[in-house]
Amino acid sequence: MMVFGYWRRKRNSSNDARKKKKLPTSKMEELLIPNHFLCPISLDLMKDPVTLSSGFTYDRSNIEAWLQAGNFTCPVTNQILTSFDLIPNHNIRKMIQDWCVENRNFGIQRIPTPKVPVSPTQVSEVLSNLAASTRSLDLYECLDLAHKIKKWGNESERNRRCIVDNGATAVLASTFDAFATNSFERNANVLEEILSILNWMFPFDVESQIHLGSHNSLRCMLWFLECRDLSSKQNSITALIELLSSDQKHAEALATIEGVNEILFSENIKSALVKMGMVSLLIEIIIDSENSTCERALGVFDKLCDCEEGREEAYSNALTWPVLVKKILRVSEVATDHSVSSIWKLNKYGRKERVLVEVLQVGAFQKLVLLLQLGCVDETKEKATELLKQMNPYRNGLECTESVDFKNLKRSF
């Protein structure tokens, strides 16, 4: 005897007269669903029925979750499975589709015919071809293969897992790095396509980070931020977020790239970089990096202080003040300019009293006095003078923790 499940829905009426009678909302119609249309795991109507080696049929998403959880048995019989192959049950699927059509008056929608999921063998073959085409720098073949991978990934989450599990991230990252060494403009299509795919492959493995963290790859992503459309910019920012948050060395490499400061003039880009934790990363770089890297990192930090989000992140980091003050007159003239500019912006556009007190406590007053005596560019001189005038009323009672003794240089402004 066939067992049935129930599908309930509220009875709706388009008749005005019946609406006026206000039939009780508890009045329901019951729709019987054949039991063999229901997944034994979820007891829901199956959308993509597949059969196990045990002979029982399940909805694909449910049985995949069961197997991925480490189970090796059939959920119904508890027998050990001789194979983990999931065979599409086309007969049941067609019967369910026919049943949906027959009961469309009850609000039942026909389940779509599911696409056949990609197999590990198919993925491995495409990745092998992509690696070979990358070695020969075959632009058009690489673009076609990237299109195929993207299409598979767009079809289902299962396909994405299969693609990632079979090593696609490292291969695509290698292809990106290879084409980033040549003309960005000539290779823009394949580079953009790969970036859009990589955005659903987080986190990046070590090999992928090596390729994407290369000088050429980082320069290419910065070029997208500066020159390409909104979609490419978003993909680049997202990839940079993942890359920079995974290892500080990538942030150090980014800070050394020529022109990075100019690219950061865009408010949208600065805001996005702040959200990905760039302020804290830069402070860590500034602390211990060699002089040229420190100088560039201070330049990027100064640019991020132009936006409110950047300043808020700087305020919340306890290392901001001691690091900025310490680098004055310690690295280079340019680094000093960036440090003074950052302190000036954080004071002028934000929490003035707090800024003045905190920089005084780490020796900013003495450092700025010495800077004026030694000489600096006019813009930095103006900012230093303004800061000294504003700090002067707060000097009494505040202990300076700067290790260098500048007491003989104290003067009133």
Mean pLDDT of the 220-241 span: 78
What is the structure's pLDDT at 260? 66
Give the rounded percent of residues in the chain with a pLDDT score beyond 70.
83
For 184-225, how does the pLDDT look when each residue is reduced to its tens digit (9 = 90+)? 889 999 999 999 999 899 889 999 999 999 999 999 988 887
Q: Identify the sign of the CA torsion 170, 171, 173, 174.
A: positive
Of residues 276 and 140, more confidently modeled: 140
* DSSP structural state of residue 106: G
Give the rounded percent of residues in the chain with a pLDDT score beyond 90.
45
Cα(73)–Cα(80) distance, integer angstroms? 4
Is 13 a residue whose pLDDT tops 60? no
Mean pLDDT of the 11-18 span: 40
Token pair of 127 as six digits: 């990745």
What is the structure's pLDDT at 299? 84
Radius of gyration of the chain (CA): 31
Mean pLDDT of the 257-269 span: 65
Least confident among 25-34, 98-107, 209-218? 25-34
Strands 49-51 and 57-59: antiparallel
Q: In the chain, what are the domains?
A: 4-106 (3.30.40.10)
For 175-187, how does the pLDDT look when each residue is reduced to its tens digit (9 = 90+)? 999 999 878 889 9
| CB 209 within 8 Å of CB 178 | no
What is the structure's pLDDT at 19? 38
Mean pLDDT of the chain: 83
The burial class, CB within 10 Å (0-12 / 13-18 / 19+), for 346 is buried
